[in-house]
A and B are shown apart, each in its own frame.
Chain A
Amino acid sequence: DVKVTQSSRYLVKRTGEKVFLECVQDMDHENMFWYRQDPGLGLRLIYFSYDVKMKEKGDIPEGYSVSREKKERFSLILESASTNQTSMYLCASSLSPPGGAFSYEQYFGPGTRLTVT
Chain B
Amino acid sequence: GEDVEQSLFLSVREGDSSVINCTYTDSSSTYLYWYKQEPGAGLQLLTYIFSNMDMKQDQRLTVLLNKKDKHLSLRIADTQTGDSAIYFCAESFALSNDYKLSFGAGTTVTVRA
Q: Write the residues of chain A forming the contact surface with B, with a CB cutoff of 8 angstroms.
A: 4, 31, 33, 35, 40-43, 45, 48, 50, 56, 58, 90, 92, 94, 96, 98, 101, 103-106, 108-111
Contacts and interface: CB of A to CB of B under 8 A. Distances in A.
B97 A111 contact: no
Given A96-B99, A104-B92, A111 B42 contact: yes
A42 B88 contact: yes
Contacts of A101: 31, 33, 48, 50
Given A4-B42, A108-B43, A108-B44, A43 B88 contact: yes
A90 B42 contact: yes
A25 to B, nearest CB: 12
Interface string B19-47: 00000000000110100000011111100
Contact of A105 (B8, B30, B33, B40): B33
Contact of B99 (A42, A104, A111): A104
Interface of B: 4, 8, 30-31, 33, 40-45, 48, 50, 88, 92, 97-101, 103-106
Contact of A90 (B33, B43, B104): B43
B41 to A, nearest CB: 6
A106 B48 CA distance: 12
25 contacts: A31-B99, A41-B105, A42-B4, A42-B104, A42-B106, A43-B106, A50-B99, A56-B98, A90-B43, A92-B42, A92-B43, A94-B99, A96-B99, A101-B31, A101-B33, A101-B48, A104-B30, A104-B92, A104-B101, A105-B33, A105-B45, A106-B101, A110-B40, A110-B41, A110-B42
A48 B98 contact: yes
Residue from A101, A104, A105, A109 with most neighbouring chain B CB atoms (10 Å): A104
Given A40-B8, A43-B88, A109 B42 contact: yes
Contacts of A96: 99
